Structure 1
Amino acid sequence: MNKRTISIIHELCAPEKPISISGLAGQFGVSQRTIRNDLNTINDILNENELLKLKLKSGGQIIRDPSFDQILSFVSDGDFYAYKLSKGERIRIASALLVTSSEYTTLSAIADTLFVSRATVINDLEEIKTCVKEGGLEVVSHPSRGLRIQGTESDKRVFLLKAADSGQSMAEQELMTGQIHVPEETRTMLQKIITEQEHIHKCYLTDDSFQKVLLYLEIMINRNLMGEYIEVRRKNVSGKHQMAQDILELISQYCHFRTTEDEIQFFSELLSMARYTRQRTGEGDAVKLQFITRQFIWQISEELRVNLNGDYDFFENLSAHLESVYSAASPVYPDNPIIEEILEENTEVAAAVRKKLAILQQYTGEPIEEIELGYITVHVCAALERKKNKEIAFHVIVACHAGIGTSQLLLERLKKHFNFQIVDIISVHEAKNMDPGKADFIISTVPLEGCGLDHVIVSPLLNDEDYIRVGNKIDSLRDSRNLPVRGEEHEITAKGLLEKLDPVIWESVPDAAPELIRKIRKIVGEYFNQTMDTESEAEPPYLHELLPHTRIMLDVECGDWKEAVRRSGEILLDMGYIEARYIDAMIANIDENGPYIVLSPGFAVPHEGVEQGSIRVGMSLIRLKDPVPFGVEELDPVEFVCCLSAVDHKTHLRAFFNLVNLLRDENFKQSLHQCRTPEEAAGIIEKYEYETAE
């Protein structure tokens, strides 16, 4: 446990030494939220022994009373059990002990596990019952046998999942996870199975959800081996049912137990509630949500007075996050610990997000849950960090514990988002021997003990929370060491080469482009000795690649908006990109949801869901001879109608992103208004798109 907590206590016993939460977080390689929890544990000890609690000043400075060092007489540097659990910890752990057991449990057994007296457990019993009841369960007693839990197996597992995931201290976490421990080789096997099925099903869990799914599977294995199985569930085949079935069938083969259809059903429900960085979607409204996401980014940029419209990753990540949120029920999992910390430290950003949430509420017509304010704020803060840190050059070492493939993945993501000079890639055990003058700091996937260089811990996937951590480390280093800005050396990379090749392929052979790009990416990856995901890493087409002159018509005569939508769609219909029903579906979509497709004065982008008759990704553009109203007073009349055929939630994303940015340039629309031929219009689109990208 308390190796870290006791170390913090010893640090705080030096009154002349200024200590802050951020300083301790950096020293121990954990989040500031974790340090706050440790301080709460220390305050519990102080309070129980009638000593004055620690206080926090602005900026996270920790203030301790001169009597603080008396706490040393109540703690020990010895083993874990020297730590005295608080009452709240005792209640939560005792509740989990009861739920974990499939047999009766005596009060003495609970007392022995918690290293307290039987009388203490008796005094806590009513609150233990209340804690269990909040999970939909009930404590029943037998005069001679002890206590046991009554309730459904699914409620028991959810209770254990929450309990193991929300420990308030290291002591509590150790006792909780000890109840559901699986051998390390089993845990490794589970991680590999989940990762493999993510790629097969094209549904990639966020780091937080990945860990929670892993934790649930450990709980499930323990319960199954005890003979405890999920009760009969109402059959409801979700989009995650096949993924759940494939994962559990593999696990049952390796762990030698029998899975059931009810186990699969419940696990599919949990997967549906998880969060994903990106996923193959069958939802028809993904494109609509992307339109609304663009409006939100416009508005949040104006509110914060920072232009975030050019951040493609912000647009893609936020769209994927919101799609995950709206395509499933509200998660049963507890909040991510870093969310509260980010909200506390970025109040202006959180206030701006709250002010603009109404834009996103257009999607469902219902209020957005409070928890989503935090997650959306993380995406905005990450975009701000990317914008700020693109202009800063640092020498960085990458340390990874999971092999060269994971190291390369992390390396590519770092190069994409930060102006870093990666001077070396090392294994974790090499860190303690690193020359402090070799780099400004280390980016590592695990804590580094005995390392003389500053380091920041991130996940191999480098999610939005990691961007913020790295940004905070950069700010800290610049403030403390006044690091100079260094220039960036350019090198030939697989990614850089493919970024040049992909547009040429899309322009030359658009119909064969996806398959040809996959083959080329494989060859280039092998040449550079880099493992590349040919599906997820393939570059999506640019706008001018989807709008060649053959898909542009000028001065089309239409009587109203419905005819304009129909004429724009007929170009793609004649070329085999959509079915006839797609056009009717676009018109019905506008009738039902209103003219949200009018993105800019005079410019509309009608579309429908991917299951309404789209065959291939494509765009067509018509310029009306006489503009027509679509029903948005401030944006009417519409002169340009650009039909979009989307085959999934991602392939069209870059083209759509670039189009929306071009529509902010009045010179672009004026040039399209004045051009005389489709060839000239296609040239204007290509010219402005490349200028904007630069």
Structure 2
Amino acid sequence: MTDVKLQLNNRQIEILKNLIAAGTPMDITVLMNRFGKSERTIRYDLNEIREALEKQGIDVRTKAKKGFYIPAEQKPKASRVIAENGQQEEPSLLDDSDETRNNSMLLYLMLQSKPISADEIADTFYISRSTAIRILNNLEAAFSGIRVNSQKAYGYQLEAEEFMLRKIVTQLLVSAFKGSYTPEDWYLLLPRILKEEISMLTISDVSQAIKKVNTHYNVWLSNTAFINLLSYCLIRDLRLRKGFTQNNQKAAGSDYTMALLQELGNRGINTLEVQWMNTILNSNGIFVNQSCLDLNELDHALDEMLELLKADKHHLPYVFDTITLYDDLYEHLQHTINKEYLHLENDENPLIDELKENYADFYLLANDFADIFEKHFLMKLSENEISYLAIYLYKNLINQTASNKKVLVVCATGKGLSNLLTTRIRNVFQNLTIVGSVSPYQLDNINLWKDIDFVISTIPIAHSAYPVIKISRILSMEDIQRIQEFLHYGKFIDSIPMDHSNSASFNAKNDPFDLYKDELDPSKTDLAAASTLYSKLQLTLLEYISKLPPEVSMGQDAVLGMLIHMSMAVPRWFSQQNEEDEEEIIEAYYKYRDEQSNVFDLMEKFFALVEESLLITIPIHERYAFFLYIFNKEV
């Protein structure tokens, strides 16, 4: 905990949050425009922030001709300082655009269970009563299907059909979450007025519930569809917690629908909730009733498409993996047919022009496929749908010449753990050429950005001219899958339903870096071999950390602490002068076995591998220390 209370006003807290969130130094003119204040006022605010943070051991630095920044390694501490001082984001609308004001007012009214006066609204948002009324009067024009009921004696209250309201608010979340992939990112991007209502734990739980049911029913969604479903489920949960539920009889639905609703919690499972969830699922490519499909006809159409490829009427120099191509087209065209019968709009492909220009051969073949599909189903495919068929063709091309990509890795500091991360990327993706590992403050070096294909980053990067894949600091299995998908689909990965069955075999190995093959000579005197082995030992530990269950989240400090702990423990293991295990430690150790069996079994494999390769024995109290880091206990 911090010892000193931050003496900062609301604007200064907002400036501090901007500095924490910024990936590069912030020019003072950016802050002036963002907060609508003079240079003198912003410089005064920055000086106040600098003095307040100095007492906490945190620096606010300046970089010539670039701006102000907080060192990346100090940002977590700065975030904790804000949290521990109880500094919360105030829902002020003073500096917001009209659209943001309308969105914030809608979200605020959505949370109210009774009418609220204009004075209360004005006090909440730090605006005048007349401004509050003006925003309230704009809501009906801004949101179709929404009505603001005004009762002079009571105040203002939102009126809307419940499902319509949920869909409108869901789209606000979808817009905020676009391009993000983790609960931490989603919480950071939540509209500020919802952050006290929706916790990061809630986001994580809902995300895991969707993934669990999807895995059970072998349903795979594009990132876009997943964000849509996640957003709806979060708003549904919020509305039910606030008491906005419909009195309706309990009902049964499809196995998938009922499983998802039950996994999200038994609250509010009735006829209307099932109908609404079915609508959301259908609009995102999960069809609970596929009676409109003639699967035999689809089989015939796909067989004819593959025969066309074999005939090679265009004399193109390509060979395709027809087995996986068949599976991809089978799944995708099922969704296409269902959407057509249900009169649902297909997602627009924003890169269609680029696809037609740069992948002309595949678009030509896709047009042939579209003709075959139309003959079998009397359904004309749109240009968007044809573009998706072209992407599947490219994805299933054998010996793709574009597979050897050049990559820039961006980490918070550009050193330390980033070196381990870079090494892991090289080992997993041996066809990638890593041109460098840099911090966000080095991104303005134009030489780094020449001749690269995409960026892998552990932090958000705005306004990049290259595709950016955001990953965790330890390259988890989900990160590896996402990079694989990018290599298959390029910029189109957010729009295509993914098949996760072709995961990297690297993560299935107990000994991915061949640690056991490099075991030391019994004399343990070869220093070169020992140093090489220890490097592999660190990488192997990171690999096992990446395999931890999704609900076990280790922060950067915990990972770094575990690596340092191991570096200090290895000499003790070699010395064989380990103290006897205490009974309390043994009991606590086996408690993890009983209560956290997945984590325990995984780490036991790691310990066994280390013992075999180093020819030592790791005592229980040493093993126990690793679990303290994993579960964020004091070591």
TM-score by length of structure 2 reads 0.46
